[in-house]
Structure 1
């Protein structure tokens, strides 16, 4: 089971919301991590994208160095984690965006498409956890 951390979760959520608002207010861009990553690799406006990604990578490292990090420990073998990441990447392509783009930014803009996408993400995640933990008896 995972530890219940409401204060850290609320603080983290507030930082995610703040970064999404600042990115929209200052650059007029949506803070969808997959779009930012693909634009950093293939897009013409790499500077802000690389800075955003650097912050997303540096912040947890800094928190860990300050002793406030959350240790990542997964019972899932690494090849399955990689496979899961690839499947998420395929889903992002078909879904027209990722959970951060739809869930945080799209819903904040009252986008019906983002609402449907977010409900689909959440239902799929819930069903997957239920099947794996209760029907298959796995991790």
Structure 2
């Protein structure tokens, strides 16, 4: 089974792409997690709340099913609670500022060749690369 280790990520990626395409075709909307989460908790008037709740239940249920079938992930928090809260707030602010998250822009927007999504994904990737460089090389791998 070790020689087929690439099948799990490949099948997961294919399912994400298929679900995003079906969501767009069937609902005429981009399947961005931040927008659907906002709809689920009542912060957005875009998608119906039930659609956002269904999407989140499916997302969490799929992760739980994969964890039960494949293996339990090894989770460990290696940072302080304060840094996690600050990081979460920055991500939330960034999704509002960028009018979407990496799933909406990176998966759906790039597939539609959206100029805004191409720019947003480029910024996401550049900031991620800069963050890795700073943490590993300038801060000594905190």
TM-score normalised over the length of structure 2: 0.86
Q: Report whether the alignment pairs 1:79 with 2:82.
A: yes
Q: Give the aligned partner of residue 115 of structure 1.
A: 118
Mapped to 1, the partners of 2:40 and 2:84 lie a distance apart of: 23
Gap regions ≥5 residues in structure 1: none
Instruction: Provide the alpha-carbon RMSD of the alignment.
Output: 1.6
Which residue is 1:20 aligned to? 20
Q: Which residue of 1 aligns with 2:11?
A: 11
- Counting only pairs closer than 5 Å after superposition, residues 36-115 of structure 1 correspond to structure 2 as 36-42=36-42, 43=44, 45-115=48-118
Q: CA deviation at 1:110?
A: 0.5
Superimposed CA distance per residue, residues 71-108 of structure 1 (whole angstroms, 9 cap, x where no aligned partner): 23242223312221110110111111110110011111
Q: Name the CA distance, whole Å, in 2 between partners of 1:77 and 1:14.
A: 35
Asked if structure 2 preserves the Cα contact closer than 8 Å seen for 1:40 and 1:50, the reply is yes
- Alpha-carbon distance in 2 for matches of 1:8, 1:69: 14
Which SS does the other structure have where 2:41 is aligned? Answer: helix
Going from structure 1 to structure 2, the CA distance change for 1:93 and 1:11 (only over 3 Å counts) comes to same
Q: Could you list the runs of 5+ residues in structure 2 that have no partner in the other structure?
A: none
Q: TM-score, normalised by structure 1?
A: 0.88
Give the aligned length.
Answer: 135
Q: Which aligned runs of 4 or more in structure 1 are off by greater than 3 angstroms? A: none
Per the TM alignment, residue 13 of structure 1 is displaced from its structure 2 partner at its CA by 1.3
- CA drift of 1:57 comes to 0.9
